[in-house]
Amino acid sequence: MIALNRPVDVGIVGDAKETLKALIEAVKKKGERREPVDRLKDYRKMQQEWLEGFLNLAESREKPVHPLRVIKEVREFYPRNAISCVDGGNTAVWASYLNRIYEPNTFLWAADSGHLGTGLPYAIGAKLANPDRPVYLIAGDGAFGLTMEELETASREGVKITAIVMNGSWGMIKGSQKAAFGGRFIGVDFKDDRYDKVAKSMGWYGQGLRSLRTLRPPLTRLRPQTSQPCWT
């Protein structure tokens, strides 16, 4: 419902694509296209400086492995036109920093719209719609666990995708409990379950990694050309 959560100056109801086209045409009629302003360079410099801290974490060799290191190496492994699917929770927050999107129609994420568990179904659908392009999923074990039964669907349908699952806890909920209750946690920690074995039981190739120097060799081995891999 328009203006339900915040006031608006002009409420528009319409198909997003067609409405955007109409708005672009209306803007073009307002005058000539302006050249980028000089301060755009300053904004880009500010963005790069902001990202430096995250890049430092992504290059750390400390244990346990930081999520940003996983995300950076995964993004660098796949081509720019690969379709990236991200599930919810803290994993999505980390992915927003370094899982860069380079081309249109290469990113699927449910944002804050009841997003937990959407990643695997999104990845399956993306591969069915784009069989010739690589599709990879980044998810936490909590979100992945909500729909991991769809591994069977992907196996049965021959959908060749790669799922990168990071284990830990209900991180976002744990963070809020830490802030609100001083570290008294309830129902947010998981056992170190072997999702790779669950994947194997459903016809996938699964590989569990507990320590690593680089992700590139296992990702290369798991490239989904002859099997449906799941990596945790």
Residue 118 burial by Cβ neighbours in a 10 Å radius (0-12, 13-18, 19+):
buried
Please determine, for residue 230, whether its predicted confidence score (pLDDT) is greater than 70.
no
Contacts of 193 (CB under 8 A, 6+ apart): 141, 167
Contacts of 230 (CB under 8 A, 6+ apart): 151, 162, 163, 165, 195, 196, 199, 204, 205, 206, 207
CA nearest 120: which of 80, 162, 90? 162
Q: How far is CA 131 from the centre of its chain?
A: 20
Give me the pLDDT at residue 141, please.
86
Instruction: Tell me what the mean pLDDT of segment 167-181 comes to.
Output: 76
Give me the pLDDT at residue 88, please.
82
Please determine, for residue 125, whether its predicted confidence score (pLDDT) is greater than 70.
yes
Give me the pLDDT at residue 227, please.
45
Give me the pLDDT at residue 101, please.
94
36-231: what CATH class?
alpha beta
Average pLDDT taken over every residue of the chain: 84
The one-letter amino acid code at 81 reads N
What's the pTM? 0.77
